[in-house]
Every structure is written in structure tokens, then in C-alpha cells.
């Protein structure tokens, strides 16, 4: 493929950024290096109203590269919403492929020919990262592919597959942190062609960052007043967000496999307090976390689910339902009797005079008068 003609007509790049001047500068150096095959492609930076030197750095590059565009939002809409905006903008472009990038990663262009071959093969998604896929045999495994595609720059996508419904679902699932995974899941559901490269093009900068350099702020509400951020957003943790988004998968067995693939990966659980607070934020009260366990049980095969639900008093170690590793088993002791918690979430009781029913649902109590018996 001719880089200067064909590639720039086929591929558009959208890079999201906010207040990371050091990392953005390093990224632009890579994207416009002499060896970069994409340096003449249309590259748009979606700037979340940065207040540092981001604008100046971009202006310097624009003097040399007119194909670099800068869109600065008037307000900081949040990193996850900016990802949605990137896919929305990409869907309205006439280029065949879209690659959404972050501002703090590392690139190796030496095997770009694999990307070009995948484009010739008409792949609907080209997987260009594989730090989460250590075994070549797993490159075609859907659970491993989906797990790797949670890393935003890991996929180059055909823009024609970004439908109205996908964009709506992306915006609706921003809280999960995996709104971009909606596209990959839809491709899997519809059996579209996902092709992963044997040699990666992009590496997660957080994994190999020079500790002597400024570290990127990775919070999902950077720039916002933490005390005003909605609980579900502020307390969200990786594995719960992932468990929620994979509910979009049609294949229940694949849902279970995705959980097992992700749960064993390093550093994604957070600590117990993060896990516990996230459940509380999602379901109103800490006691309401039982509702989430029922959601997780929904991704298990029926035979496993039935066996678990028959367990006496629902006292289940968390690792038995795929939520934590056995070494974290002692954490489960914080939840002694899930059956009692279930009754706090939903229960129906008669009043002492048996004239009313009291329905408890997610901490709300409703007193309802019983209907009078009708005479036949």
C-alpha cells in the first residue's frame, strides 16, 4: 500500500487529550516521526478544554503538518465522553477506517505492513496491541480479543460499522468506563471479521512509563471537582465495569469466559474498598451489592448457576462465582449471609394485623393494603 496516497485516503486518526502536555508532545513526536506510516493521514486532536500548554504544542506541529487538526471543546466533558465523541466524529467521516488514540502510549511502526494486509483482507477490526494476549493461540480467541480491545488504541475499526445504536449505547455506558467496547461486542455478536496482528503496533504507556518523568493522571474524572462527581462514576472499578459491559454479548458462555480471562489479569481488581464502594455506588446501599452478585450469576451456565443458588444460606466465596482469586478469599468474610442481604433488597411481609403487606425494595418500604376477598 502506498503510504502517501492510499493510506491517507483510507485511515483517519482521532487522538483524545486533556492536560498532558509532556505525554502529548512525546506522542506527536512518534506520530510524525520519519518512520511513521500515518504522518500524512488526517489526524484530529479532541482537546478536552486543556488549561496547560497543549494548545501551543499542537500549534507548533500544525505549522509543519497541515493535516493535523485541533478541536478544543469549550468544556471538559470527561475522558470517556471524549472517547464517544471521537467515535461519533469518526462515523461521520468518509474514511474507511478509524483509529482512536490516547495521548500517552508508545508506537512501533516496524510491522505496519501487517495492518495494511489486514485492510486488504477487509477486516472489520484490526487488533494492533497484544500486551493482554501472551499466547499466539489466543489471538483468535474472542474473550482475549475483547479483553485486549478494552484498551482504546488496540483496535482500528471500519467506520461503516459504527451505527446510531452503537453510538447511543456508547453514551449510555460511559459510567462503565468501557463504552468503546460496545463496538467490539457488536462486531462479535454479528460475527464480523476481527484480525489481530502477531506483532503489536502500540503499547500501553502506563505499563512502560519512565518513572522519572511526569506521570499521567489516570482518574476518569480528571478536571472535575471530586466532591461533585456522581457516586457511580467516582467509585467505578475496572472489573465491575467490564462485567457490566459484557452483558451485551449474546453468547452467555462467552460472557463467562470473558470474566475468567479478565479476572486473572494483573492489577484490575483494585483493592477491596474500591470493589466494595463501587458496588455500593451502583446499588444505593452497601447491602444492595447482592443484586450485583445476581447479575454476575447471570453470566454463568445454567448448571453452575443452579448449583450455586442451592448453596446453604448463599454463603459463597467470591472466587467461586469468578469475582476474585482464591488468594483474596478472606475478603468474602465481609459478607456472611447473602440470603439476609437479599431480603433487605427485596422482601414481602404481612403486617401483624395481616391487613397490609410491606414491600421492601432497594431500601424503600411500601405499605399496601390487601385487597378484600371477593364473594363468588
Residue 65 in this model has a pLDDT that exceeds 90: yes
Torsion of CA 166, 168, 169, 172, to 10 degrees: 160
Residue 325 in this model has a pLDDT that exceeds 80: no
Give this prediction's pTM: 0.74
pLDDT computed for residue 353 by the predictor? 84
Q: Which CATH number fits domain 3-208: 3.90.550.10, 3.30.70.20, 3.90.380.10, 3.30.565.10?
A: 3.90.550.10
pLDDT (mean) for 9-27: 95
pLDDT band at 263 (very low <50, low <70, confident <90, very high): low
pLDDT computed for residue 375 by the predictor? 35
Other Cβ atoms within 10 Å of 184 Cβ, number: 27
Name the residue with higher pLDDT: 206 or 166: 166
Name the residue with higher pLDDT: 215 or 290: 215
pLDDT computed for residue 300 by the predictor? 43
Give pLDDT tens digits for 91-117: 998 899 999 999 999 999 999 999 999
Cβ atoms of 242 and 184 within 8 Å: the answer is: no
State how far the Cα of 213 lies from the Cα of 232, in Å rounded to an integer: 32
pLDDT (mean) for 273-288: 54
Residue 313 in this model has a pLDDT that exceeds 50: no
Residues of the chain with CATH 3.90.550.10: 3-208
Name the residue with higher pLDDT: 19 or 359: 19
pLDDT computed for residue 216 by the predictor? 57
Name the residue with higher pLDDT: 5 or 15: 15
Residue 153 neighbours by CB under 8 Å, 6+ apart: 99, 100, 101, 102, 105, 128, 129, 202
Q: Is residue 226 packed enough to be buried (19+ CB in 10 Å), middle (13-18) or exposed (0-12)?
A: exposed
Distances (CA, A) of 324 to 131, 207, 267, 273, 340: 22, 22, 12, 13, 22
- Percentage of the chain lying above the pLDDT 90 cut: 52
Cβ atoms of 338 and 320 within 8 Å: the answer is: no
Give pLDDT tens digits for 50-61: 999 999 999 999
pLDDT (mean) for 24-40: 96
Packing angle of the helix pair 302-309, 290-297 (nearest 10 deg): 150
Residue 301 in this model has a pLDDT that exceeds 70: no
pLDDT band at 317 (very low <50, low <70, confident <90, very high): very low
| Most confident of the ranges 129-143, 204-218, 342-356 | 129-143
Mean pLDDT, the chain, integer: 78
Residue 13 in this model has a pLDDT that exceeds 90: yes
| Residue carrying the nine cell digits 475478603 | 331
State whether residue 15 is helix, strand or coil.
strand
Give pLDDT tens digits for 187-244: 999 999 999 999 999 998 876 665 556 555 666 677 777 777 776 777 777 777 887 8
Amino acid at each position: 500500500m502506498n503510504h502517501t496516497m492510499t493510506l491517507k485516503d483510507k485511515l483517519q486518526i482521532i487522538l483524545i487529550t486533556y492536560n498532558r502536555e509532556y505525554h502529548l508532545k512525546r506522542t506527536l513526536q512518534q506520530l510524525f516521526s520519519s518512520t511513521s506510516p500515518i504522518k500524512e493521514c488526517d489526524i484530529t486532536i479532541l482537546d478536552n478544554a486543556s488549561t496547560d500548554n497543549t494548545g501551543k504544542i499542537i500549534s507548533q506541529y500544525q505549522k509543519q503538518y497541515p493535516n493535523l487538526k485541533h478541536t478544543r471543546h469549550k468544556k471538559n466533558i470527561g475522558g470517556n465522553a471524549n472517547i464517544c465523541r471521537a467515535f461519533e466524529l469518526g462515523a461521520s467521516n468518509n474514511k474507511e477506517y478509524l483509529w482512536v488514540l490516547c495521548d500517552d502510549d508508545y508506537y512501533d511502526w516496524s510491522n505496519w505492513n501487517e495492518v495494511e494486509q489486514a485492510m486488504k483482507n477487509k477486516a472489520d477490526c484490526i487488533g494492533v496491541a497484544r500486551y493482554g494476549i501472551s499466547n499466539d493461540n489466543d489471538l483468535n480467541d474472542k474473550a482475549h480479543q475483547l479483553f485486549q480491545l478494552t484498551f482504546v488504541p488496540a483496535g482500528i475499526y471500519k467506520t461503516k460499522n459504527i451505527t446510531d445504536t452503537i453510538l447511543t449505547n456508547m453514551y449510555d455506558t460511559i459510567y462503565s468506563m468501557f463504552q468503546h467496547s460496545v463496538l467490539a461486542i457488536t462486531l462479535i455478536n454479528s460475527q464480523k471479521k476481527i484480525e489481530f496482528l502477531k506483532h503489536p503496533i502500540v503499547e500501553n504507556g502506563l505499563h512502560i512509563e519512565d518513572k522519572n518523568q511526569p506521570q499521567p493522571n489516570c482518574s476518569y474524572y480528571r478536571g472535575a471537582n471530586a466532591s461533585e462527581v456522581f457516586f457511580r462514576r467516582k467509585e467505578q472499578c475496572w472489573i465491575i465495569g467490564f462485567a457490566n459491559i459484557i452483558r451485551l454479548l449474546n453468547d452467555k458462555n462467552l460472557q463467562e469466559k470473558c470474566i475468567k480471562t479478565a479476572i486473572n489479569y494483573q492489577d484490575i481488581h483494585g483493592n477491596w474498598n474500591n470493589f466494595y464502594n463501587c458496588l455500593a455506588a451502583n446499588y444505593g446501599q452497601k447491602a444492595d451489592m447482592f443484586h450485583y452478585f445476581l447479575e454476575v450469576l447471570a453470566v454463568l451456565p445454567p448448571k453452575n448457576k443452579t448449583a450455586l443458588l442451592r448453596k446453604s444460606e448463599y454463603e459463597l466465596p467470591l472466587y467461586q462465582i469468578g469475582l476474585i482469586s482464591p488468594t483474596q478469599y478472606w475478603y468474602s468474610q465481609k459478607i456472611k449471609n447473602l440470603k439476609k442481604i437479599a431480603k433487605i433488597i427485596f422482601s414481602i411481609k404481612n403486617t401483624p394485623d395481616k391487613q397490609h403487606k410491606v414491600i421492601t425494595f432497594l431500601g424503600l418500604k411500601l405499605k399496601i393494603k390487601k385487597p378484600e376477598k371477593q364473594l363468588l
